Chains A and B, each alone.
Chain A
Amino acid sequence: MAGLTHASPSVEAASAAASPKRRFSPGRDALRRFLRHRLAAASIVVLLLLALSIVLGPFLWRIPINEIDFTARLSPPSWEHPFGTDDLGQDLLARMIYGGRISLAVGFAAMGVALLVGIVVGALAGTAKGPVDAALMWLTDLFLSLPQLPLLLLIIYLFRDFLKGWLGPEGGVFVLIVLVIGGFRWMPVARLVRAQFLSLREKEFVEAARALGASNIRLIVRHILPNALGPVIVAGTIDVAAAIIAESTLSFLGLGFPPDIPTWGRLLFDAKDYLDIAPHWALFAGGAIFLTVIAINFIGDGLRDALDPRKVM
């Protein structure tokens, strides 16, 4: 919804910038720069439309995801089934809408986990000197050197039943997958943040703030972190994309959500056997993943530029 309303104030913001008496706010300035980034603004609209259809879709498109209709097996897109049907005659649009919720939720939640862990580890390592820094970087290198897929499979195999019993089949697998994917993707963020901290903390403006008596927390939150975030945001958006794909991989291997929950990855997995006779099945699922990932990457670019006041746009 915001996608449409945001598009029009960009014109207003641009004209307001021309009038000298505008009331200044850094937030509005950032929004103006973001909306000037055309691809990012378009991507926001695309992503919001996707999100909107996933949230509101089930209320508008009322075919259940598990309604089996053998008379309409593998039928191509039609008015009755806009995205066609699968090998059991289930409506793919309904299944895409349902699966999109999980795929997007996994993507964003895993990014959150990866960014949180990465920023905390990187900031700690970059602030502390000596043994703490070295230990945290060893940990990062250790995680980087682990063979991820086998370990992922092992972890899921070991903990799935425990979490299922605790949080229910869907919730348990969701938490597990988010933690596992996020837990294997924080290392690049941590290294990025640490490198930024190491260079930024020697900068004179940080020294100036220290000379003013700023506390360490204030130095980090107000001076170092905001200047370190540009590359982190980009890395974060790539993480969303990677998490959606990782979830697809897990589903594809049959280790993600239960087979009856049609995440986008699972849809792709199921579609692979029918690529020659029912290409629409794979195309819609793959297209949705592609569209989401590319939109998020463009938004990341736009955010990075919008949050940097030096960018003249």
Chain B
Amino acid sequence: MTEAVAAPATAPAPLLTVRNLTKAFPIKGGLLKRQIGSVRAVDGVNFHIEPSETFGLVGESGCGKSTTGRCVLRLIEPSSGELNFEGKDVISLSGESLRALRRDIQIIFQDPYASLNPRMTIGAIIGEALTIHGLAKSRRHYEERIVHLLETVGLQADHMTRYPHEFSGGQRQRIGIARAIAVEPKLIICDEPVSALDVSIQAQVINLLEDLQQKFGIAYLFVAHDLSVVEHISRRVAVMYLGRIVETAPSRQLYSTPKHPYTEALLSAVPIPDPSVKRKRVRLKGEVPSPINPPSGCHFHTRCPIAKDVCSKEVPPLKASDEGHLVACHFR
């Protein structure tokens, strides 16, 4: 599974390159807590992100997309693979250089209720980023920075002294965003940042993220299961199934002409707000297999409408079919 990482010569050097990223969680059991198996949450994932672009990562619950995001930031230690950020080998970083990396890569979480310390004021939550990285020269500068950040994300200066429980979900997510951009990162991992919010608030947060991208040139790794949100915000999208990327393509191309049968099924499940529209619905049989004991060969062959013998034997490589359109299927 080698991705054609060699981007066209005209394209800018990628900000982040991920090669063969794997994360296996051990399963311990028995009296002596021996390892009796492992969950391969991420199984040889390849992709790259260019500066100031949004790269969407979609898939069902449990397919490993959040784990991938956390591995990039080393919040979860990857089992193997290569992570390259601006020419630096992320896996080998430790101590001070890892802290420096975390100035460049930040994360926004799914649950805005759990991601803010309930005992810290909003000012302290955002200010902590400044303190850790020594970004404020004086007390006054520190407060000015916090006020500025709050205003950047659409909150007010007097929110500084309040506690998280006094805010709504959307406001809390804005606070989370302010904390992430406080250190002026180049890449933000958005781990389902809007899936816990109301639809109307989702739009506001998405627009805010887009504004920030334009203003500061931040790249996003946008992890989500809501396909329409990802289509709206992403330039390129990767589809994950059971720990592997099955298809990567520019957003519009992926949505208009999906190649992998799993992507087709996924897209046909997106509701269309018009009852008169008739379309072919691809229905998948069965459940997602367990990642403890994934199917051999192509992970998808147990549910695939076009599977043949070869699918259960060989792992299909992620290969280019069109310009920038990669698909991992023996027949497409």
Contacts and interface: CB of A to CB of B under 8 A. Distances in A.
Interface of A: 24, 26, 203-205, 207-214, 218, 222-223, 226-227, 307-310
29 contacts: A24-B121, A24-B161, A204-B111, A205-B114, A205-B116, A205-B117, A207-B75, A208-B107, A208-B109, A208-B115, A209-B117, A209-B128, A210-B75, A211-B73, A211-B75, A211-B102, A212-B106, A212-B179, A212-B183, A213-B98, A213-B99, A213-B103, A213-B133, A214-B132, A226-B119, A227-B117, A308-B119, A309-B119, A310-B118
B163 A212 contact: no
A223 B102 contact: no
Contacts of B118: 205, 227, 308-310
B129 interface: yes
Which 4 residue pairs across A and B have the least CB separation, nearest first?
Answer: A24-B161, A213-B99, A204-B115, A213-B102
Contacts of B132: 212-214, 218
Interface of B: 73, 75, 98-100, 102-103, 106-107, 109-111, 114-121, 128-129, 132-133, 161, 163, 165, 176, 179, 183
B184 to A, nearest CB: 12
Nearest to B161: A24
Contacts of B163: 309-310
Contacts of B129: 212
By CB atoms of chain A within 10 A, which of B111, B116, B129 has the most?
B129
Contact of B128 (A26, A207, A212, A226): A212
Nearest to A203: B114
A205 B132 CA distance: 15
B43 to A, nearest CB: 23
Given A203-B114, A204-B114, A208-B179, A227 B119 contact: yes
A264 B119 CA distance: 40
A137 to B, nearest CB: 14
A207 B180 CA distance: 12
A189 to B, nearest CB: 20
A124 to B, nearest CB: 20
Contacts of A212: 102, 106, 128-129, 132-133, 179, 183
A190 to B, nearest CB: 22
Contacts of A309: 118-119, 163, 165
B99 A204 contact: no
Nearest to B118: A310
Nearest to B183: A212
